[in-house]
Amino acid sequence: MPAHKRGASECAHGGNMPIELERISFSYKSNDGADVQALSDISLEIAEGEFVGIMGRTGCGKTTFIQLMAGLLTPASGKVLLDGHDINQKNYDRKKLRSNISIVFQFPEYQLFETTVEKDVAFGLKHLDISRDEAKDRVKWALETMGFSFEAVRSRSPLSLSGGEKRRVAIAGALVTKPRFLFFDEPIAGLDPINRQSFLEIISQINQEGTTIVMVSHNEDAICEYAKRVVVFKDGVLAVDGNVKDVFSNTKMVEGLHLNVGTVRTVGDMLTKHGIPIPHTATSYNELFSAIKLAFVPGGLQI
């Protein structure tokens, strides 16, 4: 599937395109002083309400890509547009950028630094023009969204929490501004299976409530299960941009990008080889389970 620029009719909610990248390129200096082309001539659009997975081998430009979208890096050429406005123009209101976009880096728990959980989560609100009461309400909402009891954790030191709890507090700090766009860089790296599942269900719910999610991950299973669209970079260029099901049902293409097809496709292909037909379009666990039921029970009756 070649890279392409998606039209409005292809977007998750059929809405407008509030984030647009127009022919973005970015390079940096290596340790030996050589120019390294991190991204080259990238054009794509992200619509309101999408859940987009970003994939590719280490060093292909994934983290650079989301930092450019968040305005943390400035492209060497090209434009990053938010609602049609170039975020890198000198007169662009950066406060508007911070209120619309939040980014959560890999291992965000290492970025906790305030004396209490409440203060840490509230830190992102310092530059917003809101009252103290509204700030408290937002902190409470963000913590409860991430599965905490506000009163139970508000006065605790972030350092007293478990690793999974620290990560959820850090994400609450990104969520507290109620951004339209939430970017994650390898958010499930290092999490055990239970915390990984819990985290993915939380951000899936956040997405269903209207927040656009862009998630960098090496975990094919997570992308297949939760994202609707996947963007794959290869050597700094946009190699694939398409529907998750369409991409991961094409085994040859996925392997050519040095990715895995994921557990569901692997199990499905194995069952098919042993006479239990599983559609190659089954990429989520629910689809695999339904296909297995259909294979064993005529008409797909409940078992």
Q: Which amino acid is at 282?
A: A
Residue pair 191/162 in contact (Cβ under 8 Å)? The answer is: no
CB 244 within 8 A of CB 212: no
CATH of 8-261, one of 1.10.10.60, 3.40.50.300, 3.40.710.10, 3.40.640.10: 3.40.50.300
Q: What is the mean pLDDT of the chain?
A: 87
Q: What is the pLDDT of residue 299?
A: 56
User: What pLDDT does 14 receive?
Assistant: 41
DSSP 113-149: -SSSHHHHHHGGGTTS---HHHHHHHHHHHHHHTT--
Q: How many CB atoms lie within 10 A of CB 246?
A: 15
CA distances from 258 to 78, 184, 217, 232, 251 (A): 28, 22, 14, 10, 11
Q: Can you tell me the distance from the alpha carbon of 263 to that of 266, in angstroms, rounded to the nearest whole number? A: 5
Specify the DSSP class assigned to residue 9. Answer: G
Which pLDDT belongs to residue 10? 38
pTM: 0.85
Give one word for 14, left, alpha or beta, with left for phi > 0 and alpha for psi -120 to 50.
Answer: left
Per DSSP, helices labelled H in the chain are 62-69, 94-100, 117-122, 132-145, 150-153, 163-175, 193-208, 220-226, 244-248, 251-256, 263-273, 285-296
Q: How big is the CA angle at 224 (ends 220 and 230), to the nearest 5 degrees?
A: 85
Contact 77, 157 (CB under 8 A): no
What tens-digit pLDDT sequence spans the chain (303 residues)? 433 333 333 333 344 568 999 999 999 888 887 888 899 999 999 999 999 999 998 888 999 999 999 999 999 999 999 999 999 999 998 888 888 999 988 877 777 888 999 999 999 888 778 899 999 999 999 999 988 999 999 999 998 998 888 888 988 998 998 899 999 999 888 888 888 888 899 899 999 999 999 999 999 999 999 999 999 999 999 999 999 999 998 988 998 888 988 898 899 889 989 888 888 888 888 888 888 888 877 654 444
Angle between helices 163-175 and 132-145 (to 10 degrees): 130
Amino acid at 84: G
Domain boundaries defined on the chain? 8-261
- Residues paired with 86 in a beta bridge: 81
Q: Are 171 and 206 in contact (CB under 8 A)?
A: no
DSSP 68: H
Q: What is the pLDDT of residues 125-150, one digit of tens each?
A: 887 788 999 999 999 999 999 889 99
Q: Got the DSSP string for 83-118? A: TTEETTSTTS-HHHHHHHEEEE-SSGGGG--SSSHH
